[in-house]
Amino acid sequence: MKQILFSLLILVMLTSACQTEQKRKEFVTIKIFTTTDVHGAIFPYDFIKDREVMGSLAQVSNYVNAVRADTTCEVVLLDNGDILQGQPVVYYYNFEDTSKAHILSRVMQYMEYDAGTVGNHDIEAGHSVYDRLNREFSFPWLAANARITGSKETYFKPYTIIERSGVKIAVIGLITPAIPKWLPENIWEGMEFDDMIESARFWIKTVKEKENPEIIVGLAHSGVDFTYSNQQEDTPKNENASLLVAKNVSGFDVIFAGHDHKVFDTIVKNPNGENVFIIDANCYGKMLGELSVELTLNKKTNEYDKEVMSRLVDMRKIEPDSIFMSIFEDDFKVVKKYVSGSVGRLTEPISSRESLFGNSAFADLIHRIQLDLTQADISFTAPLSFSSTIDYGNIYVRDMFKLYRFENLLYTMELTGKEIDDFLEFSYAGWFNTMKDKNDNLLKFKISNRGKKKLAGQFYNFSSAAGIIYEVDVSKTESNRVTIISMADGTAFDMKTKYKVAINSYRGNGGGGHLIEGAKISKEELKSRILHSTEKDLRFYMMNWLKEQKVIKPEKYGNWKVIPEDWVKTATQTDYEILFGSRK
């Protein structure tokens, strides 16, 4: 009897396998689309600048739906992370209205996303937000190199299998492993982040053996420039390892990159000499990455031969999906009303542009709030917007996203005078050029691929200080420019004294390198230096502070200056024109 049952089972399995083979189409065309770094650009509207824009999920929806209507091809839609931070619409549903399904879970279900990868700014929103979205999403949210602490099991799904016309497509998600360098541990508590190359090797082997897919996609929330921030090709847990994965791990047909907001579309060779496509689709829904795969069945082997092409599609030329806009119209109205709420009044306008060249009212307003909230001795901050102006008059909720872009916590840390001095030396080394005369640039520039001057460092790393009086001499060499004269009240500043310092969580966890490379505090020691942390993001407390103050007169502390002043005056005019196209 057992032998008969066993024979019947084998017959059923063979019949099923034959039927599967018979179902294979002779020709299949699959288009794989990917959005990346959308940062809340759901609608073709900028809630911060209060104006229409071109680039959004509403436009992506229209384009993808049109392709889906073409019955000659199959469509796969993926997202590559950083969707939960940026525009106020996601902030609102992250933290203000948590009673109903998140707008992104509803939008992405409507758009029929098949899979996504988690981004670092998604983690930044905190456990309560990303754990909730992980439950709400109708598609798997992936991160193969984010393991549960002390376990081999991953926190998010490592990969997923998508089938189209009998063709199996494996999507392996990877997240930049640099998150512990930037974010407080309680935000990513319960996770360990592995090197992307090592994880890719492990999971592609697993996927091949277990799933035997025809197409393998790497969906990597990580950039293409592995030298960024002085890293090397062999740097463990490289922040931007997408290109390295493509070159060092065989088996991928394509790596969709992200995180760096670059436009990138090229082909590299893997260790087997096979082509791997690398596609990086910019940000804010402005571009859509497209991989077109034409499969032709080889009747001798019953396997598919593949022809692959890639391109980037400009969404700014696409009209928004009218049905999309209608379905989510109420959400749009609710958020527009939210950002139009007043939180105070400014007596004068402030601009982040000034913060790039020296002491500014824009940065000093942040310093003022941080010092007031923490009662610290000293404050560090950087301009988190490159070119934002908040006009005089009413300050609206939307303006808070100009003043402070990210959902950082506010730390109070303990640093010695020497560490504060080294922190500033590190900051200004990446900020200002070593000038020989007034005809030199004040800012440190590099030449872009297009032959134009651009900032050599990231403006959000240009950290200045309040609470102390100091000078920056740009005629001197790096690491020898900063002279701290005294505390702001005129009392002595001492290199050995321990001071309380207000600083955001990104910087306080080592982001930018100011504390680790500059002040030479080990990553392991940083945690012990934190005296206090806010529970909510700094923007939340800023809004409450402004509401209490009601009317704010922006002022420069005037506590630091760049010398020689005549050189700086001339160079500022030149550099301002390079960056902004006009004289200051």
DSSP 45-87: EETTTTEE-S--HHHHHHHHHHHHT-TTSEEEEEE-S--SSSS
Model confidence, pTM = 0.90
If we measure between CA atoms, which residue out of 279, 192, 201 comes closest to residue 242?
Answer: 279
User: How buried is residue 203: exposed, middle or buried, by Cβ count under 10 Å (0-12/13-18/19+)?
Assistant: buried
All CATH 3.90.780.10 domain ranges of the chain, comma separated, are 342-580
Q: Which two tokens stand for residue 7?
A: 């024979």
Domain 342-580 has CATH 3.90.780.10: yes
Beta strand 498-504 pairing with 410-416: antiparallel
Q: In this model, does residue 37 exceed pLDDT 80?
A: yes
Query: What is the tens place of the pLDDT at every residue in 287-299?
Result: 999 999 999 999 8
Q: Which two tokens stand for residue 287?
A: 């571009």
All CATH 3.60.21.10 domain ranges of the chain, comma separated, are 25-335
Query: Which pLDDT score, from 0 to 100, does residue 451 have?
Result: 85
Q: In this model, does residue 469 exceed pLDDT 90?
A: yes
Query: What is the tens place of the pLDDT at every residue in 192-215?
Result: 999 999 999 999 999 999 999 999
Over pLDDT 70: what percentage of the chain?
A: 96
pLDDT mean across residues, the chain: 94
Q: In this model, does residue 4 exceed pLDDT 90?
A: no
Mean pLDDT throughout 237-262?
Answer: 97
Query: Which pLDDT score, from 0 to 100, does residue 14 have?
Result: 39
Distance separating alpha carbons of residues 290 and 256, to the nearest angstrom? 9
Confidence category of residue 230, pLDDT binned at 50, 70, 90? confident
Confidence category of residue 15, pLDDT binned at 50, 70, 90? very low
Query: What is the tens place of the pLDDT at every residue in 354-410?
Result: 999 999 999 999 999 999 999 999 999 999 999 999 999 999 999 999 999 999 999
Q: Which two tokens stand for residue 473?
A: 């001499």
Confidence category of residue 449, pLDDT binned at 50, 70, 90? confident
User: How buried is residue 524: exposed, middle or buried, by Cβ count under 10 Å (0-12/13-18/19+)?
Assistant: exposed
Q: Who has greater pLDDT, 117 or 10?
A: 117
Q: Are 289 and 277 in contact (CB under 8 A)?
A: no
Q: Which two tokens stand for residue 296?
A: 């032709």
User: How buried is residue 97: exposed, middle or buried, by Cβ count under 10 Å (0-12/13-18/19+)?
Assistant: middle
Query: Which pLDDT score, from 0 to 100, does residue 23 have?
Result: 60
If we measure between CA atoms, which residue out of 38, 25, 11, 48 comes closest to residue 405?
Answer: 48
Q: Are 231 and 238 in contact (CB under 8 A)?
A: yes
Q: Angle at which helices 127-136 and 103-110 pack, to 10 degrees? A: 30
Q: Are 546 and 356 in contact (CB under 8 A)?
A: no
Q: How many C-beta neighbours within 10 Å does residue 481 have?
A: 22
Query: What is the tens place of the pLDDT at every residue in 64-83?
Result: 999 999 989 999 999 999 99
Query: What is the tens place of the pLDDT at every residue in 487-530?
Result: 999 999 999 999 999 999 999 999 999 999 999 999 999 999 99
Query: What is the tens place of the pLDDT at every residue in 397-413?
Result: 999 999 999 999 999 99
Return the CA Rg of the chain.
26
Mean pLDDT throughout 158-169?
Answer: 97
Over pLDDT 90: what percentage of the chain?
A: 93
**What CATH number belongs to 25-335?**
3.60.21.10
